[in-house]
Structures are given as C-alpha cells and as structure tokens.
Structure 1
Amino acid sequence: MKRIRKKARIPHLQKGLSLSPEAKDVSPSVKENVDYIKEQLFYSDDILERDIYFDNRQGKLIFLETVSDKYLVMESIIKPLERAKVGAVEHVITSSGLEVGEGLDKAISWIIAGKCLLFLEGIPEVYICETSLVVKRGVKEPDNEGIVRGAHDGFIENLVINLHMIRNRIENPNLVVRYFSLGKKSDTKVALLYMKNLAKEELIEEVARRLNLIPTDFILSPGFIGEYIEDDSYSPFPQLLYTERPDRTVAYLMEGRFAILSEGNPTSIIAPVTLFSFYQSPDDYHSRWMFGSLIRSIRFASFLIAFILPGLYISIVTFHPEVLPIELIYSVKSSIERVPYPSLIEAFFMELTLELIREAGIRLPTRVSQTIGIVGGLVIGDSVVQTGLVSLPMIIVVALTAISAFVVPSHEMSSTVRLLRFPLMIAASMFGFIGMTTGLFLIFTHLAKIETFGNPYFSPVMPFKLKGFKDTFIRFPLWHLNKSTKDSTPDQRNSEKAILGEGRE
C-alpha cells in the first residue's frame, strides 16, 4: 500500500496536470467529498455510488461505471469490507493496489483512470483502489507489416502488454522504461524505452527534454508526439520510424536507439533513424544473407522507379526522344499523338486518379475495396486508353510506379515518394533531363543536411562511412555484423537484431 501526500508528484510524470482547478484537502464529511467529485465531473450519468458500513462508520464508494470493472469493485472491495466489518482498511483490501491520499487535487484524474475512491465518515483520507476496466483485443500480426518468417505478434492498444512483449524479448536489466504524462487535458501515459548500456546519455536527455516541452492539450496518436519532437517539420522525409512490430522495436533498441510507446495505440516510434532504415524489413534477417540482400536491392530499385520514372518518361517524350531505339520511338509516338494535351497533364491525370482509387480502397469496407481496385485497374484503365485521354505507355509507367511504391516497407516513406514525384514531373516537363537533374540534386542536398537527434539522416553515404555499408544496400552475413557498440547510427550494428540470436564470433 502506498500513501500519497497532498501535491505529491509521481516520478517521471512531470507533465501531468491535474484536471481539478485547485488543490483541496479531503474533508471528514463523506457527503462533502462526494459532492465535490460529482461537481467536478459535472454530475455525469455514469457516476456510480455504493454505500459502505465499515468499522462502525458510514462510507461511500464512488467510481465511473464506464471505465471501472464493477465485478472487481464487488469482489476486491465491497465483499472484503462486508466480511471484515472492523479493522484497518489497508489490511482488509489487499488485492486491488490500495493507496491512501490526503488531498482531492488528483481525485478527478484517479477516477477518470478507472480507480474507485472510498471515503469513510470522520476520516480525512481517501482510499484509492485499482479497479480499471481493461478492454483489449488479441495479439496478432500487424496487417500493414506482414512477414514470411519470424514472429507473428504485434502491439495492441494496451501499454502494459506492449511493454511485456518487449521485456519478454530483452531479459536484461539494462532495459530502462521511463514514464511521461503528456497532454494537459488528455493526460496520456507515454513510455520511453532505451538500453542503458547502448544508448547515448545525451540522446536520452534530449528526447526527454522534447517530450517534457510538448505543449498540447491532447495526445491522440503517436503522430502528435512525432510532430513535436522531430528535428525538421518542414522536411517531406520522415525522421521517425513507426512500427507495430515488437521484434522490430527490440532490434532498434539493441542498436542504441530509443522507442516511444503510448497508452491506447499500437504504434511504436523509433529514433534516431536514417533514410535506409525505412527500406529494411525483418524478413531480410530471417533468410540467408544473399537472398536478403537481393530483396533489399529490389526495394531500393523500386524506390528509384517510383521516384523518377514518371519524370523520366515526360523528359524523354517531350525533349529527348533520341535516347529511345527507332522502333520504340515510332510505337510511343503513334500512341501519344492521339492524346490532345501535354504529357505532364496526362501524367497528373493518371497519378491523381490512382491516388483517388487508393484512398477509396482504404476508406471502404474490405470487400467493396477489392471491387474498387478491379474497377479502377481494368475498367478505367482500358476506357481512358480507348477514348484517347491517356496513352498506353503512360498507363504502363503509372502502373510500374504504383507497384514500386507499394514495395516500400514504410507507409511514411511511401507517402514521401508519392509526394515528391509531382515536383519532379513539373521540372521534367519544363527543362527535360536538366530539370530532373536539378531537382534530384536539390533533394539529395536536402537529405545530406537533415539530422535526427544529432545523427546524419543520409549516413553512411553522407558523411561517408565504409563499414556502414555492411547493412545498408545489401546485408552482410550476421557474423560480420555481430559487433555491439554504444552508437545510435546504423553503421555500427549490434549482434544482429536481437530477434535472431547470437552470430559467430
């Protein structure tokens, strides 16, 4: 049992603010205490009260039926008190995490969190009993991060269970969990995880500082946290990696990075990361290194296709048809001469149509979305070619671009690729290869300037680190990667990805 003094602060919950307007002592009068709580909750209809007679005193239990477990209230509080009749409350209620408080300044936060409050007449104390109603779904593999081999579990909306899945994989005392309470009104519980012996101290101090400075009233998703703590909010490139896989989170923790998880959301935030982290998948390490390297190389090739293919096509048909073989020039020209507008308009029309189909597929129910995909891919594609709105080569280019974008393991990076190809298409339509080259130069210059928590985003390319290429474009055998250092950049990897066991010495 813990005793909570008035105005006491729980360690690491520095940003949590009471929802009560001011500090208030517990009154010896039960009615006065209950009336105060009901007033602060605006007499909400889900407030429940239960009369208690214990130790020759009248008492009252008060809780919210929507967030408290009524069965737990009955079995662990009411029945023990009725059986004992007299004695010390802390000796009678032993199974519900009993705490004692002397102030009501946190009472509203307690009761909203699902706790049950017990008041006894003549005693200026409140007994706080843990009776939270836990509603959770089963642990299953994330739909958007499927793999062929390896663990098939994923995070859920319960923070304790998510931390259990990580602790179960890292049975090491160096794994540290620090709690924060974010949002002045939502009071969302957030966990910061890191390996004490691997993560840099200044890195952890910096992320803790940024978390404590978040000024928002509500934290509804990890995306809220990400926008507040990332280095460059105006960059189109994601600087934080989001994942729902425990094994992937553990892998990055074992590389000296940190992870952030929040109550009510199955997504983990990983940082610091590099551009190449978004093209890695657990499947790379669950197969032999040669095949894993091949698949990763295909992902990087798909990145280039999704990024530059539409602009490259526009440059060729508008300014540089001489780079094509003669036979292909006749075929392409005969197809595009029926289209009454420039290739840029043609490409924009098809790209926007594809985005509409993709968005409709996400928003509609699963069975209907499959129909939308068939209608969009077959009917619309065939119709626009037959009517001369779009040329057949453009259909092929857009289809290859869409498939290549789907290969990217990260949704955030896939969205970035889809966004940046539009300015590249505009540059290509105005200046051809020169416009494409200039646009790519500006993008790569931007990549070289980005940092995430002090770590270069484009490492190991810029700054160049030769040994960092062992697990970048290709993956070397695990026994080449089995070196653990206190570094948060991906050029010095740990015994590979904790989920795989130890490699050869």
Structure 2
Amino acid sequence: MGFFKPKHQKINQDYMQQLQKTNIDSIEIFSSFGENVNFIKEFFNHSHDLMTYSFKLKQKECVVFYLETLVDQEKFEQKFFNPIAQSTNDKDKMDRFILDHLPKSINFAEITQKMLLGFSIILIDGEKHVFLIDTASNNERSTDEPTNEKVVRGSHLGFVESIATNLNLIRTRINNHNLFIEYLTLGEITNTKIAIVHIKGIANEEVVKEVQKRLKSISSDMVFSPGYFEEFIEDTTSSPFPQMLNTERPDRVTANLIEGRIALLVDGSPTVLILPINFFSFYQSPDDYNSRAYIGTFIRVLRLCSFILAVTLPALYIAIIGFHFEVLPEELVLTVKGAVENVPYPPLIEALIMELTIELIREAGIRLPSAIGPTIGIVGGLVIGDAIVKAGLVSNTMVVVVATTAIASYVVPSNEMSAAVRLLRFPMMMAAATFGFVGIVFGLMILVIHLCNLESFGSPYFAPIAPFRFKDLKDAIVRVPVWKMNTRPLDHKPVKVLQQSRTRKWKKNEE
C-alpha cells in the first residue's frame, strides 16, 4: 500500500487545552480538516497505539484513525484495505463504498466512543461527516457450562465475557418482543457497558425505575464486574446475605426473567445479577425442575437442612462439650470424654483451629494451579487432620464435626450464599461458648429477625415465610409438579401474576 503515508501536523496546544475544558458532548466536527485531525490526536494524548494513515481520494486529503490494540487487523483489511485496493481503477466504486455503506457521525463524543469500542474512522477534507468502520476485535471463549454451576440434566451453555453474546443467549430463549434491554455506561474512566434486561408487562416498572435510579447514581472511576457495583445498589451492605443472585447460566436467568425479575449484565464479565431475589431462590437449581417432583423436593429440603446444619453444628458441639454433657446418650459419653480429655484447649479454641484450617485448605485449593489444587485439598486435609489428632491438639469428634459442617456448607448452589453460611458459624460458635444452648437459641432468633427485616429492592427477603404466603410455598421449600405452578411468586410484585393455565385437563384413557 504505497499510497498510504503517516501524517504529522503541528498541534496548537493552547487551542486544544481550551477545547478540553469544553464538554465533549457538545463538540461537533470542525469545518477545518486539520483541526479535526489534531483534535483526534490530542484527545488520545498521542498514544502509541493510535494509528494514523493518510491518502488522497479525488484530490481530497483523507485520514484513517484507529486504535491498534482494539482493532482486528483481518477485519480492517477486509473492510478498508481490500475495497480501496480493488477500486484504484474505479473511483466511482470507491465513492459508493464510502458514502453508501458506512455509518456517519458529526459528534466527537460518539466518534471517540466508537474508537474506544474498536471502530476505525475516516476523515475526508470537505466532508461534513466522519465515516465509521466496525473493525472491533472479538476475543471470546466458547459458551461452555460454568464450572461452578454444574447440572446433571439440563442446558450446558454458559455466559461468556461478551455482553453481546450473553444477550444473544437470552434472546434465543425468550423469543418475545416484550423482552426489553436498556444500556447504561458506568465508570468515569472504564466506561463499562451495562445492560438492564426485563420483560415488559411482567416485571414491575416501579422496581425497574428503582434499579435505574440506583445505577445512574453511581459515580466511580472504575466498574469492572457485577460484584464491584453490587454494594452500590443493594439495600443493606452490612448484611452477610447476598441480596442479588449471581449466576452464569442462561437457563437460570431466563427463568427468573419470566417470573418478573430483572437481570443486570456487564460487558467483560460472565456473571449476571438477578434481582429482586429472596432467600429460597439461592437454594434452587435447574436440576430441581428437570427431575421428578418428589426427588426435586427431597433435594431442596436437603439443601435447606444443610443451611441449619452448617450454621449450628460446630456451635452445638461446643455447647454440649462445655455446658450440656448430659444430653449425650450413655453409650457416647465415655467415647466423647476419652476423645476430649487430652485436648489442652477449650472447645471454642479447638473448633476455631479446625474451622480456620479448613478455610485455609479451601483457599489454597482455589489459588493453586488446577492440576494440583484438588490433590492438595484432599491430601492436605487428610494429612493435617490425622497429624493434628495424633498431636493431641483436637479430638476425633471435632474432626468429624468440622468435616460434616464443610460438606453441608458446599451443598448450596450459590457460592455467595455458601460464603455467608461459612461466615455465620463463627458468631454462632462464640454465642455457644458463652451461653451454651441459650446462646444458640438467641443467635438463631437474631438470624431469623434479620432475615425477616431484610429486603431486596423493596421485596421481602424471607418471603414466602415472612410475610407468609401459603401459595408461594409451592416453589420455595418444596417443588410441586410444574403443571401446578399456575401463578408467579408475589414477593417481587410482578404485574402479571398468572403464568399458565391448569394444563392437565385431559383424563386418562379418554376417547
């Protein structure tokens, strides 16, 4: 491409500094070709990845700008270099290529924003528009199943880091014109793209407006992921319980959208936030609806029992050993007594040693390379558990209690709720070490009161228990057959309550 050559012009620094003090949203392209070129260079501070090429079209000066780090070179060649090369002997063809097929813009705010998204721009002397070419580079991974949300039976697709791909996965599942997507930009420096997704006619518009208001009130230089701005918009940041459900599964998002909830997607993150949400939604899994109703109910009740077990089991051990030894059966008294009598620490210290050891092994397993992480977790747990018992630092009973507690805390389908459960057992252990069973009862009372007072965007967090709605129990603690789920849950105030008619109107052997 010998007709291209780098273009360098002297920039009027005083003039550019004056322009920078002006709001760029109000700046349109200048009548002077040189001023437009200088503005683009100055706006990007002469960054080394800002590529500039000059050429002539019908004796008119033309300049192409693009950010090399955001552009796909193959796209650039196909959409710009190749048409120009093919049209060197056909000037009319080149004119048609530029004037008829490319979008245009006159506002520098839009032009520079497009360049930051990977577009290339063409400036032509005498033209009142800047021409835009979509040459953005797409570095995407495949939509594989999320590693932290595995299911046995169901869809094995997962969200990726591209917001366009994620919205496509939602659109293909909800093929309805009422699916509404609104874009926002957060982060004064990062300019991260956010998508608010809901279904008009089902989602409560007041809740949608509240979400929009809270998101637009965020004033921060950087927003990288949903977890970063989650604390900006949630109702109670001091609560250990997550007030938005995060997931990487398209089927889980679409199911909640159809129930009338709202989804927040962030460009660059595979995690989607669902809101408003209640406590029992964290214990639901797509497998519940792909299995028999009795099996789904059994598994869901098992998960809810694991919550109580994970929070109270170490506290019960401490209370029994320290205060209420008489509640043990006679057959176990001598066994437990023999296990704990040689331990030099009180039950609370013994429990803290083991619980913190389990947390260290878990964190190490996550941070280590995937090839050796699980091995270190298993081998480390076995070796440390055996050695610490032989050293007389903890009892065999404590090892069993901590292992059972760890298993129970990982039954939760949501990682955020699992972390909250693991955190809650520490204050419960303190209460048990201080007051015994009375401390556990008071701790559970405080926990239930907190859950009853908690809200997620104005919706009761502990619904349908508080406030109690018998009809909504059909998909909370139990899972009734799908054909009986005629209405949507009412905790998030959906506009349309009825979601299906009673479809089993047929009779067996009816002719």
**TM-score, normalised to structure 2's length?**
0.89
Residues 132 and 20 (structure 1), Cα distance of their counterparts in 2 relative to 1, 3 Å cut: farther
Alignment-mate amino acid for residue 456 of structure 2: T
Unaligned runs of 5+ in 1: 1-17
Which 10-residue stretch deviates more, 23-32 or 361-370?
A: 23-32
How far residue 89 of structure 1 moved from its aligned partner, in angstroms, is 7.7
Q: How does 1:315-326 map to 2 (within 5 A)?
A: 315-326=319-330
Q: Which residue of structure 2 lines up, in the alignment, with residue 222 of structure 1? A: 226
Q: How does 1:150-165 map to 2 (within 5 A)?
A: 150-165=154-169
* Equivalent position SS for 1:177: strand
Q: Could you report, residue by residue, the CA deviation over 1:11-61 in whole angstroms, capped at 9, with x for unpaired residues?
A: xxxxxxx99964544234444323322222222221212223223312010
* Equivalent position SS for 1:171: coil
Residues 90 and 218 (structure 1), Cα distance of their counterparts in 2 relative to 1, 3 Å cut: farther
CA distance in 1, matches of 2:323, 2:131: 79
Q: Which residue of structure 2 lines up, in the alignment, with residue 108 of structure 1? A: 112
Q: Which residue of structure 1 lines up, in the alignment, with residue 97 of structure 2? A: 92
Q: Which residue of structure 1 lines up, in the alignment, with residue 273 of structure 2? A: 269
Q: How does 1:22-41 map to 2 (within 5 A)?
A: 22=24, 23-41=26-44
CA distance in 2, matches of 1:136, 1:120: 34
Q: Which residue of structure 2 lines up, in the alignment, with residue 49 of structure 1? A: 52
* Alignment partner of 2:77 out of 67, 74, 79: 74
Residues 197 and 42 (structure 1), Cα distance of their counterparts in 2 relative to 1, 3 Å cut: same
Q: Could you report, residue by residue, the CA deviation over 1:261-292 in whole angstroms, capped at 9, with x for unpaired residues?
A: 11111111001111000000000000010011
Q: Which residue of structure 2 lines up, in the alignment, with residue 9 of structure 1? A: none
How far residue 493 of structure 1 moved from its aligned partner, in angstroms, is 7.8
CA distance in 2, matches of 1:331, 1:61: 82
How far residue 65 of structure 1 moved from its aligned partner, in angstroms, is 1.2
Q: How does 1:385-464 map to 2 (within 5 A)?
A: 385-464=389-468
Q: Could you report, residue by residue, the CA deviation over 1:401-435 in whole angstroms, capped at 9, with x for unpaired residues?
A: 00011111000000000111100000000000011
Alignment-mate amino acid for residue 78 of structure 1: F
Q: Could you report, residue by residue, the CA deviation over 1:323-366 in whole angstroms, capped at 9, with x for unpaired residues?
A: 11112111111111111010000000111111100000000101
Alignment-mate amino acid for residue 97 of structure 2: V
Q: Which residue of structure 1 lines up, in the alignment, with residue 192 of structure 2? A: 188
Contact 1:481 1:493 in 2 (8 A): no
* Equivalent position SS for 1:439: helix
CA distance in 2, matches of 1:137, 1:94: 35
CA distance in 1, matches of 2:441, 2:489: 38
* Equivalent position SS for 2:152: coil
Q: Which residue of structure 2 lines up, in the alignment, with residue 137 of structure 1? A: 141
Contact 2:79 2:133 in 1 (8 A): no
How far residue 484 of structure 1 moved from its aligned partner, in angstroms, is 5.0
Q: What's the RMSD between the two structures over aligned residues?
A: 2.3
How far residue 371 of structure 1 moved from its aligned partner, in angstroms, is 2.4
Residues 434 and 360 (structure 1), Cα distance of their counterparts in 2 relative to 1, 3 Å cut: same
* Alignment partner of 1:209 out of 207, 213, 222: 213
**TM-score, normalised to structure 1's length?**
0.90
Q: Once the two structures are aligned, what percentage of the paired residues are identical?
A: 45
Residues 88 and 254 (structure 1), Cα distance of their counterparts in 2 relative to 1, 3 Å cut: same
Q: How does 1:468-483 map to 2 (within 5 A)?
A: 468-483=472-487
CA distance in 1, matches of 2:197, 2:502: 22
Residues 352 and 258 (structure 1), Cα distance of their counterparts in 2 relative to 1, 3 Å cut: same
CA distance in 2, matches of 1:502, 1:273: 26
CA distance in 2, matches of 1:21, 1:95: 31
CA distance in 2, matches of 1:401, 1:122: 74
Residues 276 and 19 (structure 1), Cα distance of their counterparts in 2 relative to 1, 3 Å cut: farther
CA distance in 1, matches of 2:287, 2:169: 19
Larger Rg belongs to: 2
Q: Could you report, residue by residue, the CA deviation over 1:135-192 in whole angstroms, capped at 9, with x for unpaired residues?
A: 1001100000000001000000111111111111111111111111111111111111
* Equivalent position SS for 1:60: strand
Alignment-mate amino acid for residue 339 of structure 1: V
CA distance in 1, matches of 2:233, 2:95: 42
Q: How does 1:234-273 map to 2 (within 5 A)?
A: 234-273=238-277
Which 10-residue stretch deviates more, 118-127 or 173-182?
A: 118-127
Unaligned runs of 5+ in 2: 1-19, 506-511
Contact 1:199 1:486 in 2 (8 A): no
CA distance in 1, matches of 2:153, 2:466: 33
CA distance in 1, matches of 2:354, 2:21: 51
Q: Which residue of structure 2 lines up, in the alignment, with residue 171 of structure 1? A: 175
How far residue 104 of structure 1 moved from its aligned partner, in angstroms, is 2.3
**How many residues are treated as equivalent by the alignment?**
482
Residues 502 and 355 (structure 1), Cα distance of their counterparts in 2 relative to 1, 3 Å cut: farther
Contact 1:116 1:130 in 2 (8 A): yes
CA distance in 2, matches of 1:356, 1:295: 29
CA distance in 2, matches of 1:103, 1:115: 15
